[in-house]
Amino acid sequence: MVNLPDLTPILPWYGKHRRDLPWRHTRDPYRIWVSEIMLQQTRVEAVIPYYERFLDALPTVAALATAPEAQILKLWEGLGYYSRVRNMQKAARTVMEAHNGVFPTTFEGILSLCGIGEYTAGAIASFAFDLPHPAVDGNVLRVAARLLAFEDDILAPTSKKQLTAAVAAAQPKDHAADFNQAMIELGATVCLPNGVPKCEECPLCAICRARAEGKETALPIRRKPAPRKKEHRTVLILRCGDKVALRQRPESGLLAGLFEPPVLDGIHSEAELLQFFTLRGITPLRVAPLGDAKHIFTHLEWHMVGFEVIIPEDGVDFLPSELFFAPREEIDRRYALPTAYRAYRPFM
Ligand code: ADE
């Protein structure tokens, strides 16, 4: 067991330096849950407008439980990791059906909901109900690893366990919420990643072992992630009159259920596309390059080239039945498209 020293100096520091964030004005577990799920993998500044919009549209667990899937995907459009919001809807239905519409008030009850792990359960339990559970996300792991001059890979399960236990033991039980927020805040604004901590602003500088040993920029240690797989794709903005072709992605897997323009595997040239369509009985009125784009997912990279392909009305019959044509304003209003296609959105 690794032991952290007294961390209570972060409480007055947090009182003075905390950012004024919308989810810090509520104790409603539903609102806190929405914020915490959005904040996984997404920066605070980017989350704020999504948070406001989502809660305006779906202000209660009941509203989320009954919302059409297209609406929740549209509200999430641009945030990525769409399984997060699908899992939220599953969990909302569980709250309605198994908990009489009342959000669970215990750590175990919260943890049992779909898509809620140890971190999120600890965050909701402490922020909404002041329950003394830790909330150790990547920010807090980094803070703890530096305070302890912890030399193992912080993402290894045993490291996470050790560091989480140390943070839990250091948590003042009568200030669970503020302590957890303060640790997150310290990691997000002072104990920064990528070798640039602002130690001179840190309320824990005097007790930080990494700092004392001159290792604050070298720590924490993170294993090198596996190299991302690369996929090459040709994106077709297929236009017929004032409408653009879309298809829905499969119900499971990457970007499940979202809408996208038709895509061919591999990188193709203008001449190859012309041949591709001609062979299928369609004579394009125009094939024009729209440039290259790249999108990086956690484990995957898409390297894309885009083309605008204008086809005549009578060409539509020769297209695969999975494609449908949508007018531009409907795409904006109704269909959630992955950010991966951002470079080609202006042409849709
Ligand atoms: N990141 C995760 N949870 C957060 C919170 N409650 N406030 C700010 N950033 C966060």
> In which band, very low, low, confident or very high, does the pLDDT at 194 lie, cut at 50, 70 and 90?
confident
Q: Is 38 in the pocket of ligand 1 (CB under 6 A)?
A: no
Atom of ligand 1 nearest to the CA of 36: 3
Note whether 131 and 103 are within 8 A (CB).
no
Q: Does the predicted model carry a pTM greater than 0.75?
A: yes
Residue 296 CB neighbours (<10 A): 10
Confidence check: pLDDT of 20 > 90: yes
Determine the pLDDT at residue 256.
92
Residue with the two structure tokens 């997404």: 42
Span 306-330, mean pLDDT? 93
pLDDT in tens, 44-87: 999 999 999 999 999 999 999 999 999 999 999 999 899 999 99
Determine the pLDDT at residue 14.
98
The fraction of the chain above a pLDDT of 90, given in percent, is 93
Determine the pLDDT at residue 328.
86
Catalogue the active-site residues.
Answer: 36
Atom of ligand 1 nearest to the CA of 139: 1
Confidence check: pLDDT of 41 > 90: no
Q: Tell me the CA–centroid distance for residue 44 and ligand 1, in Å.
A: 7
Q: Are strands 229-240 and 300-310 parallel, antiparallel or unpaired?
A: parallel
**d(Cα 235, Cα 290) in Å, to the nearest integer?**
9
Q: Is 110 in the pocket of ligand 1 (CB under 6 A)?
A: no
From residue 177, give the alpha-carbon distance in Å to each of 24, 183, 305, 326.
10, 10, 48, 47
Q: Long-range pairs for 154-162 at CB < 8 Å and ≥24 separation? A: 154/220, 154/221, 154/222, 155/222, 155/223, 156/223, 160/136, 162/1, 162/2
The dihedral over CA atoms of 307, 308, 309, 313, expressed in degrees to the nearest 10, equals 160
Q: Is 190 in the pocket of ligand 1 (CB under 6 A)?
A: no
Determine the pLDDT at residue 1.
75
Q: What is the average pLDDT score of the chain?
A: 96
**d(Cα 159, Cα 220) in Å, to the nearest integer?**
11
Confidence check: pLDDT of 196 > 80: yes
Note whether 323 and 238 are within 8 A (CB).
yes
pLDDT in tens, 110-154: 999 999 999 999 999 999 999 999 999 999 999 999 999 999 999
Determine the pLDDT at residue 224.
85
Atom of ligand 1 nearest to the CA of 127: 6
Q: Three-class SS of residue 307? A: strand
Q: Are strands 263-265 and 259-260 parallel, antiparallel or unpaired?
A: unpaired
Q: Kindly give, in sequence order, each residue whose CB lies less than 8 Å from that of residue 120, ignoring residues fewer than 6 positions away.
A: 33, 36, 37, 40, 110, 135
Confidence check: pLDDT of 220 > 90: yes
Determine the pLDDT at residue 195.
77
Q: Is 137 in the pocket of ligand 1 (CB under 6 A)?
A: yes
Q: Is 44 in the pocket of ligand 1 (CB under 6 A)?
A: yes
Determine the pLDDT at residue 33.
98
pLDDT in tens, 236-275: 999 999 999 999 999 889 999 999 999 999 999 999 999 9
Residue nearest to atom 3 of ligand 1 (CA): 36
Span 316-322, mean pLDDT? 90
Residue 195 CB neighbours (<10 A): 9
Query: b/e per residue, 228-248, with b = 16+ CB within 10 A?
Result: eeeeebbbbbbbbeebbbbbe
> In which band, very low, low, confident or very high, does the pLDDT at 225 lie, cut at 50, 70 and 90?
confident
Q: Is 140 in the pocket of ligand 1 (CB under 6 A)?
A: no
Determine the pLDDT at residue 39.
97
Q: Tell me the CA–centroid distance for residue 225 and ligand 1, in Å.
A: 24
Q: Is 188 in the pocket of ligand 1 (CB under 6 A)?
A: yes
Confidence check: pLDDT of 316 > 90: no
Q: Tell me the CA–centroid distance for residue 39 and ligand 1, in Å.
A: 6
**d(Cα 336, Cα 325) in Å, to the nearest integer?**
15
Determine the pLDDT at residue 243.
95
Span 286-301, mean pLDDT? 96
Q: Tell me the CA–centroid distance for residue 106 and ligand 1, in Å.
A: 20
